[in-house]
Amino acid sequence: MRKIFDQFSLLFTNPSLAIEIKPVFLPLVTSLIAFWVFSLLLFFQNSLKPDLFSISVFPGLVIKQLPLKLIFSIVTQFIVVGIPFLVLGKKGISAYFSNLALIQFLCFGLAVIGFLYSSVFWPLYKVLPISGLTAKAVFEAIFLLYPALILVIFRYVMLWMIATKSGASSKMVILMCILHLVLSAGVWFLGGVL
């Protein structure tokens, strides 16, 4: 567990060093399951949809039941993010799985942001002496959209850092991005068909 905690402590201060840490299998799996369970609990009351959990630029399947939607989002993550790392071979796959806890930690952060907005900031907005579409949009942007956007961008930057640490050239990174977009579009298309 020590290596997992070291990864988390370095995530925002020295992400490059955090990515280089190789956690042990059992603590890695334990932390992944914990983040998935806590995210599931937080998504029961959340302004952000579990679609964000999958790190996909396209929406996923239209699933009404929240547990199934979250499971689909987790599976989507392995498809649209994990498969592009196959381009880098064994070293890329190893780096991806070594940093899964960090990726899930950022996903968990998104769930926390959405939960806090639903539970704290939205009730606060209702009692404040402000109203109107502009005020609502500004309030939502400050307390929900901007924090979530920062985490989403940071998540993609971290994936790029994982790829480059695995020895990916510029051409390989571009190929991974194209593959990611194609897979994301495929999931989105599948959702429309089903």
**Per-residue pLDDT tens digits for 63-74:** 777 777 778 888
Ranges of H-type helices in 43-132: 66-77, 89-98, 100-116, 122-127
| pLDDT attached to residue 57 | 64
pLDDT surpasses 60 at 193: no
Question: How many structural domains comprise the chain?
Answer: 1
pTM as predicted: 0.86
Give the span between the Cα atoms of 39 and 154, in whole angstroms: 19
Count of all residues that appear for the chain in the document: 194
| pLDDT attached to residue 191 | 65
Q: Cβ atoms within 10 A of the Cβ of 65, count?
A: 9
Residue 35 lies in domain: 2-193
Secondary structure (3-state) at 99: coil
pLDDT surpasses 80 at 83: yes
